Amino acid sequence: MAGDTAQPGGRTGRRRPSGGSDVRLAMRAALRHLPPTQRAVVVLRYYEDLPEARVAELLGCSVGTVRSRTHRAVQRLRDLLPDVDRLEVRR
């Protein structure tokens, strides 16, 4: 059927008419609830697609700090966006 999308496990689901813009808007709003240091890491890592080492260099911190801030930020985003089907971060 037009508008159906394949999902893991062979299931199909209806595409949202917004084309995912509702998720993007929700993510943008949720980002505002993160502390500035966590928000910076998320933006640099996932929006700008920078490697951890470059993010650490830009923020003047260690790679370990980037990793821990990323972990905490992603967990907080999952808490803030419980209705998002699956907020998965793959790197």
Residue 26 belongs to what H/E stretch?
A: helix 21-31
pLDDT value of position 23: 81
- Range 20-26 contact pairs with CB under 8 angstroms and sequence separation of 24 or more: 23/84, 26/81, 26/83, 26/84
pLDDT digits (tens, 9 = 90+) for 59-77: 999 999 999 999 999 999 9
- 78: which 2 tokens? 């999952």
Q: Is the pLDDT of residue 16 over 50?
A: no
Q: Report the percent of the chain where pLDDT is more than 70.
A: 70
Residue 88 has pLDDT above 90, yes or no: no
**pLDDT at residue 1 is higher than 70:** no
Predicted local distance difference test score (pLDDT) of residue 91: 47
* pLDDT in the model for residue 43: 96
